[in-house]
Every structure is written in C-alpha cells, then in structure tokens.
Amino acid sequence: MKKGKKWLAAIMAAAMAMSLTACGGSSASNQSAAGTAAAADTKATAAGGKTVITLWHAMGGVNGEATEALVKAFNESQNEIEVKSEYQGNYDDLITKLKAAMQSGNMPDVCQMYDIGTKFMTDSGYAIPVQDMFKTTNFDPSSVMNIITSYYTVDGKQMSMPFNVSTPMLYYNKDVFKAAGLDPDTPPKTFDEVLEYSKKIVESKAAPVGYAQAIYGWFFEQQIAGQGKYYANNENGRKAPATEVDFVNNGSGLKIFETWKKLMDSGYAANYGSTTADTQTAFFSGQTAMIIESTAILKNATASSNFEIGTGYLPKIEENADGGVIIGGASLWMMDNKDDARKNAAWKFIEYSTTPDSQANWSMSTGYFAINPAAYETTAMKDFIAKNPNFVTAINQLKSSPVNGYTAGVLSGVATESRKIFNEAMEKTYDGTYTPQEAVNYLAEKVNAAITNYNSSTK
C-alpha cells in the first residue's frame, strides 16, 4: 500500500510538472535553440537548388484566393525561387504572431502588415526597407502611385511595398434616390448635403434611414486629412516622431464631432455601432440609403444588394484644396533573416507583385486598387472597368487627392489604441454624455498619454 502511494504521488507530481512547465517561461535557453532552428531553416532552403522563402499574409476569402494565385503565378514565372504562402489569421492575429516570431527568430521572409502597423514595423528594427533593394534590380519607384507609397514612407524612405490598397468612399442606393425625387447620378459632396438628402429620403419614406457610417477611427482620420489638417504634430509624425495630437489645436477634430453629432441628432441618420459589417448589412438590405465604406467592398456590395448601387467621393466637412483621402489596407514588408539569397528572393517576389499584369489580376479579383497605374492600361482591366463603372469613382477619387503630408496620414505607434479611444469618445457623443468639445478633449488627452507612453518605451 505504501508503495502504491508513492507511485501515485510520483504520477501526480509529473502531472503537476507538466502543467507548470506549460505555464512558466524559460528565457535562458531561448537564444541557443532559436539559433539552431534558424540554422535548420537555412538548410531546408538550400535543398533542391531553389531558394525557398515564406510569405505570411492575413488575406482570407476571395482575397486569400487572389494571394495564392499571385504566389502561384510568381513560382511558375521562374525556376530559382519558390514562395510558400502561409495564412496567419486576420491582421491582429498576424501582428501577434509576428511579434512572437521576432522573439524566437522564426520570422518569415516577406510579411504583410496592415497600414497602422507601419510605425511598429519601422521601430522593430527587423525590417529591411524596400527602398534599399530598388537598385539591385533597377526597379523604377515611379511605377507605383505616389499617393500610395507616401503612406509607407518614413523619414523619406519607402519602408514597404503597398499590397492591398483601398480608401473610403460613399455608397448610395440609386433606387431610393429615384423614389425620393433625387438625381441618382449626383451624390452628396459635403455633409450638409448628406443631411439635406437624408431628410428628403426619410420624409418621402423612400428608406427608413438616410445615412449611416460605422463608428470607426479610420473615418475620423480621413476627415482630418479631408480638411487639409494634421492628425498629430511633427507633420503627422513623419518629420520626427509625433509627441502629441494636432487635431485639437488646428480645430479639425471639433468640426468633425460637431458635424456627425448634428447629423445623428437630426433623426435622418442612424448609428449601427462600431462593427463595419453591421452598417454594410443595413445598406445591403435597403435599411439605409447611404453609407461610407472602403472601396474594397464594392464587389461584395454589388453582389449582395437587390438594388442599383451608386458611388461618390467621400463627403467632406468643408471644401479644401489641400484635402484628400488617405489610403488604407496593408503592405508587404521584408524581414531581415540575415540571409542574402533569401533577401534577394524576397525582393524579387515583391517586385513581381507590382507588375501591371499582377496588379490588374489582383485588383480585378479583390476590388483593391492597382498600385501600378500601368495596370489600368491593360486590356483585361479596361474591360473590367467598363463593366464596373463604380470602380471609376474609387480610382478618380484617389487620383484627385493631392500628395502631401495630410493625405500621407498619421504615422503612429499607437494607432490601434487611438482608434479604440475614438470609438469610446464617439459613442459618448452620440448618446449625449459628452459634448463634441468634451469628446475631442477626452480623445486628445487619452491619445497623448498613449503616445507619451509609446515614445518612452522606444527610446
């Protein structure tokens, strides 16, 4: 019996040890093992004579299919490099995984990263700026639209290659416009007009709601750029790291909160919360006549709606010559694995992704912009645009936006946090807890604290 007891205790202890090792962290042996893993990876690369590189992406659904198609086309276009593409969850999952991979030395060679991860990637020190690679293949940087690369340019250097690019625009229900006696070919251009149109739509009972937009920090950033103003100081953090927000001092923030609050209080607009899919659903199902959404949903919107869709430029708070839209989406980053063969291979893949044909296929199957203007000259793309006239709105809006520090967008290490704080401030403005002025002050105070915190952690 005593023997049995000891046995049991031993097994129990083993069980305990198992759960404890699973919980504890041992950093002492990290480095050496990470080194071995990296060495093993290099060996795998050399096998078969081809340079094998890994691409991490966050593209699901049809976008995922298009990414796989691009990789396949590249692998078939030559026989020296093989790209293995790996889906790593959505944008947030991907950045979590990449952060862990940076610590363990298991980074991919090419990694997709969303727009607001640009500052993190730059500060991480693990990225190779794509601009450093231009010379190796005589890449012509002007083959990519300037307004798109400006977002990914830090300290005058292009850090990454834009991959999936979109901007917000206005979507409206042409059938409802007709029923309300509005011209279905002239969408509203300013928020004053949005209010006026919404009033007509609701009063004529053409649709229950005139206008809706998700509570989304991206739209706030867009309206600051639309007014030709900076979000943060030091020219949106691009001349030097931003130390505080600028939208309080330049007055752009207050104007936005006041405009949106007025719109929502009129009773002609509705708030469907911070999940963009909910606002989309309200539009697709005919509940609301107008919404603001990414240009990338055009394909899905056309397929989902039982009515004719019209598109227009993003409505403005006020006319301004310097104002325009900021691009969003994600870009491809080169990760430094200290291996020249893989580095060059990674760049060749990225370069391939910018060719007119690649971009035309990518744009047609996903609905994102083609970053290379030459793509719009291909026959396939011309046919596509002829069949999808709404796509022209998106392209023209982007082309008509001036390239400057305002439309380059804010470069911030705390963008995710700032957008969360914005959601809070906006919700509290809609429900009347805060006046627009209080909301702007609250937002500025919280974002400034986050920026200070970030800056002190990266020093």
Binding to another protein, residues 355-414 (CB under 8 A) = none
Q: Which of 90, 137, 146, 396 is close enough to bind another protein by CB under 8 A?
A: 90
CB of 121 to another protein, least distance (A): 18
Q: Which of 111, 195, 296, 326 is close enough to bind another protein by CB under 8 A?
A: 296
Can residue 306 be called a binding residue for another protein (CB under 8 A)?
yes
Can residue 42 be called a binding residue for another protein (CB under 8 A)?
no
Nearer to another protein, 105 or 356 (CB): 105
Q: Within 13 Å of residue 199, how many CA atoms lie on the same side as its CB?
A: 10
Q: Which of 154, 301, 370, 425 is close enough to bind another protein by CB under 8 A?
A: 301
How far does CA 98 lie from the centroid of its chain?
Answer: 17
Q: Which of 50, 73, 75, 106 is close enough to bind another protein by CB under 8 A?
A: 106
Can residue 61 be called a binding residue for another protein (CB under 8 A)?
yes
CB of 25 to another protein, least distance (A): 3
Stretch that binds another protein, among 53-61, 128-136, 191-199, 356-364 (CB under 8 A): 53-61
Task: Give kind and range of the element (H or E) at residue 372.
Answer: none
CA dist 104 and 98 (Å) reads: 10
CB of 15 to another protein, least distance (A): 4
Stretch that binds another protein, among 102-110, 352-360, 414-422, 451-459 (CB under 8 A): 102-110
- Beta pairing class for 153-154 and 168-173: unpaired
Q: Which of 54, 67, 358, 401 is close enough to bind another protein by CB under 8 A?
A: 54
Can residue 179 be called a binding residue for another protein (CB under 8 A)?
no
CA dist 371 and 271 (Å) reads: 33
Nearer to another protein, 195 or 371 (CB): 371
Stretch that binds another protein, among 93-101, 115-123, 147-155, 173-181 (CB under 8 A): 93-101
Indicate the burial class of 388 (C-beta count within 10 angstroms; 0-12, 13-18, 19 or more). middle
Nearer to another protein, 5 or 43 (CB): 5
- With residues binned 3-state (H G I as helix, E B as strand, rest as coil), the percentages for the chain, rounded to 5, are 55, 15, 30
Can residue 86 be called a binding residue for another protein (CB under 8 A)?
yes
Answer whether 295's CB lies under 8 Å from 369's CB: yes
Can residue 34 be called a binding residue for another protein (CB under 8 A)?
yes
Q: Which residue in this structure is represented by tokens 């309200």?
A: 282
CA dist 140 and 134 (Å) reads: 7
Record the tokens describing residue 335, joined without a space: 């990760």
CA dist 321 and 381 (Å) reads: 30
Q: Which of 45, 274, 276, 390 is close enough to bind another protein by CB under 8 A?
A: 276
From 137, 76, 148, 75, select the one nearest 370 (Cα to Cα): 148
Q: Which of 55, 97, 144, 256 is close enough to bind another protein by CB under 8 A?
A: 97
Can residue 429 be called a binding residue for another protein (CB under 8 A)?
no
Can residue 330 be called a binding residue for another protein (CB under 8 A)?
yes
10 Å Cβ neighbour count for 176? 23
* Residue 160 φ/ψ region, left for φ over 0, alpha for ψ in the -120 to 50 degree band, beta for the rest: beta
Cα radius of gyration (the chain): 25
Contacts of another protein in 116-155 (CB under 8 A): none
Q: Which of 211, 284, 369, 442 is close enough to bind another protein by CB under 8 A?
A: 284
Stretch that binds another protein, among 99-107, 151-159, 220-228, 451-459 (CB under 8 A): 99-107
Stretch that binds another protein, among 94-102, 244-252, 255-263, 381-389 (CB under 8 A): 94-102
Strands (E), 9-92: 51-57, 81-87
10 Å Cβ neighbour count for 77? 13
CA dist 180 and 139 (Å) reads: 52
CB of 248 to another protein, least distance (A): 30
